[in-house]
Structure 1
């Protein structure tokens, strides 16, 4: 039986626009409130370990996604992409905006956990639907464009969060209500692949777990490093004398650079060497974070954000394209949910692993340590990628 959302059929423009707008919600999940972290920490300064707990309001979202992603993937494969996506977006608006009225830090943390459930389901269903609707280079181009929109969401919402943070630390939470504007469009999306629409032959296809696991590991390593941007960079900029209202604009430089890199990936229609691409991306991120760690003024941070952002912008579309090609149609939700879990587990762990390198208000050593780690992972991926290329050449001969 032919799946109704076969990649052979043309994809309507409204479907493309809806999927791209949905992608902007991903970076909003944590980055929108990043500029208000110092003010939030001051508000809750009476609580023990307030500095770590406030940072966790950004990254607990990642833990919730990592835990719930397998369930999101299962539901996406069983019920179809659209139903999961619509429910997730409604929960996104409700839970994301909870910071507007949460009476204490623990209630706010609960809202962030529920937001994590919504983000994981949104990412999983959206990515699986893209894999259903597109194929080949067209899929790679759209995934690159989708990743660019994710970064462009940061270009918009980070400065907006910074401006609202100057009003009060609660104000940026209102941005999450924007998800309600996309719900009417999401209701018009195709349902997507479901268990009842598989052929026996398709259902018998196995998931190639070894390369899939490699992609998950790369995603985890990448996010451990990259997520210093929303969780530690506001403190780095504050130490360099940047006003809270300007923090979002400076951080937006990184996401703009990532958007441009993703657009480049989209125009090329992907890459034939995904492992090498991942290695070079991690090395670019390492260079960027080295510059950030050594900057003596706000202007010195900018080149690092441009270089690091460009490297980060290539990772997600590269991994998404790689996994979309590997995953059997009946298991796309589960495979893509694993990528979401890896990315957001990295988000949760990033500030915890960085904490030993934070000395009071000085977070420069955290960026330096992350740069060393990214260098080691990047070099390892280059060695592996060159080895795979050499094997293919020998096999061809």
Structure 2
């Protein structure tokens, strides 16, 4: 049996004082890293129909092409715990550097892959990279920020990721109109972040004199609830990137327009997160997340009922409003519950939940051919149920006893 030594400072995970915010370039670096997460799927989503046509002779091509988008989530869900352990043990920067190299290589492999199997292998490598990037960057945010400043930055981070999607969806659509391979070139942009990551601290700032690290284990009951909410949210959120292009095609949208419409959802989420950043810390994150789920449910009701693009756009706007509220508040809630020494591993669990939801989305909410809106009906039901459950837990404060 080992005896804990609470008087020993863990210099990789001890939190800096609340006033000692990182410099502007460090903040920009973390924001750019956050854009890589949504880039993993947003880049090629508009190209899925063209990719399916190219590999039409491959058995099970319809399923495998969708898998090329979502297998990244499965790999992240499996490998994120390892990434979190490595980030806690060796520091955030080494994990980020290795992940960026894998991101560029695995992501861009679609430029030269000659088979659908080759595309899938590259997507597996990309998944390993995103797991490391998301986990180490998330732990770094918790290292460098605390209190209301953390909530504000998490909202800014969510906004930046959504702005990245708002740019990448239309750009991917324009490139997909040229060739289904062209969007894969965007993954090479990750290599440009290497010099910025090199200047990040290996772990975090040195602990204050006399500061000790809380060795109390995390409150796993509360954390498990947050993981479940993140899993469910990602299942319903990923309906649009995974199945939206096929629904939009039935409504007459070309690849370029599809990318633009997908960008509307991401842009709305970004604006909402950015606006909410000013108010972060003033409201109970559980109740704000419940409002976000309710808006996503309303948005998917509109999308599922659409017979033309006008109603789809309305649904994307409403759903985007909700999407911009959910993740910042779930991450704020999670950060408040996480002891410093567990940041990498708890953040890794969140990454696993998020991307397992991404993988499961087209499997659990699949729409049969000719009924592409079917999945959005169930997405609205699931979102509404999570909003009601979270509101009930928040009102009764029963979550505090978990």
TM-score with structure 2 setting the length: 0.93
For 2:114 and 2:258, locate their aligned partners in 1 and report how far apart those are by CA, in whole Å: 26
CA 1:361–1:90: 2 relative to 1, 3 Å: farther
Which of the residues 67, 71, 95 maps onto 2:106? 95
Q: CA–CA distance in 1 between the matches of 2:62 and 2:206?
A: 46
- Shift of residue 195, structure 1, vs aligned partner: 12
Bigger drift between 270-279 and 73-82 goes to 270-279
CA shift in 2, pair 1:382/1:153, >3 Å:
same
In the alignment of these two chains, the number of paired residues is 390
Offset from partner CA, 1:266-287 (integer Å, 9 cap, x none): 1112354222222211111110
Q: How do 1:353-372 residues align onto structure 2 when only pairs under 5 Å count?
A: 353-355=364-366, 358-372=367-381
| Worse-matched range after superposition: 321-330 or 156-165 | 321-330
**Residue 395 of structure 1: aligned partner:** none
For the Cα contact (< 8 Å) 1:78–1:195, is it kept in 2? no
Q: State how far apart, in whole Å, the 2-side matches of 1:391 and 1:184 are.
A: 43
Query: What does residue 337 of structure 2 align with?
Result: 326
Counterpart Cα distance in 2 of 1:367 and 1:32: 22
How far the C-alpha of 1:48 sits from its partner, in A, is 2.3
CA contact (8 A) 1:97 1:177 kept: yes
Other-structure match for 2:290: 279
- In 2, distance between residues paired with 1:201 and 1:64? 36
In structure 2, list runs of 5 or more residues that go unmatched.
1-8
Match of 1:192 among 192, 195, 203: 203
- Give me the TM-score of the superposition, normalised by structure 1: 0.94
* Cα distance in structure 2, aligned partners of 1:22 and 1:107: 26
- 1:64 and 2:75 aligned: yes
Is the contact made by 1:69 and 1:341 (CA closer than 8 Å) also made in structure 2?
yes
Q: Distance in 1 between matches of 2:379 and 2:31?
A: 31
The partner residue of 1:379 within 383, 388, 397 is 388
Check the 8 A contact 1:7/1:132 in 2, yes or no.
Answer: no
- Per the TM alignment, residue 152 of structure 1 is displaced from its structure 2 partner at its CA by 0.5
**Aligned ranges for residues 298-337 of structure 1 at < 5 Å?**
298-337=309-348
- The equivalent of 2:256 in structure 1 is 245
2:187 corresponds to which residue? 176
Residue 5 of structure 2 aligns with which residue? none
- Per-residue deviation, 1:21: 0.9
Verify the 8 A CA contact 2:269 2:323 in the aligned structure 1: yes
Aligned to 1:294: 305
Residue in 2 that maps onto 1:163: 174
Task: Describe the shift of the 1:194–1:44 C-alpha distance in structure 2 as closer, same or farther (beyond 3 A).
Answer: farther
Q: Indicate conservation of the 8 Å contact 1:82/1:187, yes or no.
A: yes
The structure with the largest helix share of the pair is: 1
CA 1:201 to 1:53, structure 2 compared with 1: closer, same or farther past 3 Å?
same
RMSD value over aligned CA atoms?
2.2
Is 2:26 the counterpart of 1:6? no
